[in-house]
Amino acid sequence: MLTSVPRRRAFAAPQAREKCLIGALFILTLAALLAPALPAAAWHIPHFVDSRPWLGVPNAGDVLSNLAFLAMGVWGTERLRARNDAPVGASWFFVGLILTCAGSGFYHLDPDAPQRLVADRLGMAVAFAGFLGIAVSERVSARAGEAVLVLMMVGGLLAAWVARENLTPWVVVQFGGMALAVGLALTRPRPGALGVPLGGVIFFYVLAKLFELGDVTIFEATGHLVSGHTLKHLAAALAAWPVVRALRPVATGLAPSPH
């Protein structure tokens, strides 16, 4: 009888926040499936302002700045080893950052080849699914976090693949998912949550988008020192810092032995 209690709770009726989450996901799904198609060719940026090579690496600033994703992904993965209370999706979030380093670096070696964008977006989809799993498990429930992780993983990977011809599902995943995260950030953490500061992750995400839009402006303003797109990669990688910080080792509180 004792072992059956958790199973009954797992299939309990949806709570109020879970019902709101289901409604939001339903709306996003309809938007991804029914909204007008956005042709991928019209949105592809074939050229970034900083194309300078360095040590034989073409577009070195935009390529090598992806190493920041690798650093944050490895750091976060190491933090997870010492914690058994990490929120749902944390491991996939850090794996996604490592994949983003590989995919984005591969794309920026030759950004004139739009087919390389698939590799870039696949890593981002994994990281984004992991982040939404964290956000939902922190603010709604662990079971909802697990469901959203799987749903966004599948939906994000499919959207990244379909984006070769139709960008609409990818736009819904990226911006609709972030709107969902903003809504969750405005609610209180559920009892027993780790306390990941979602607002910090969102801040660095928005900052990265601003850097992306100001690629040329920043390049000119800094005297061709660094481009906005290079800074975008660094800011996007820093979005993992609030999660890594929340996973810092817990002090044992044990007093040293006098012997």
pLDDT at 259 over 50: no
3-state SS record for 157-214: HHHHHHCCCECHHHHHHHHHHHHHHHHHHCCCCCCCCCCCCHHHHHHHHHHHHHHHHC
Cα–Cα distance for residue pair 152/184, rounded to 1 Å: 16
Angle subtended at Cα 192 by Cα 197 and Cα 184, rounded to the nearest 5 degrees: 40
Cα–Cα distance for residue pair 52/160, rounded to 1 Å: 28
Residue 166: name the closest of 75, 71, 34 by CA: 34
Give pLDDT, residue 256.
45
- pLDDT tens digits, 218-246: 999 999 999 999 999 999 999 999 999 99
pLDDT at 159 over 60: yes
Give pLDDT, residue 181.
96
Tell which wins on pLDDT, 136 or 164.
136
- pLDDT tens digits, 86-127: 888 999 999 999 999 999 999 999 988 778 889 999 999 999
Tell which wins on pLDDT, 147 or 6.
147
Q: How large a percentage of the chain has pLDDT more than 70? A: 90
pLDDT band (50, 70, 90) for residue 4: very low
171 close to 48: Cβ distance less than 8 angstroms: no
Cα–Cα distance for residue pair 55/49, rounded to 1 Å: 19
- pLDDT tens digits, 161-203: 999 889 999 999 999 999 999 999 999 999 888 999 999 999 9
Cα–Cα distance for residue pair 231/223, rounded to 1 Å: 15
Average pLDDT over residues 10-29: 86
141 close to 15: Cβ distance less than 8 angstroms: yes
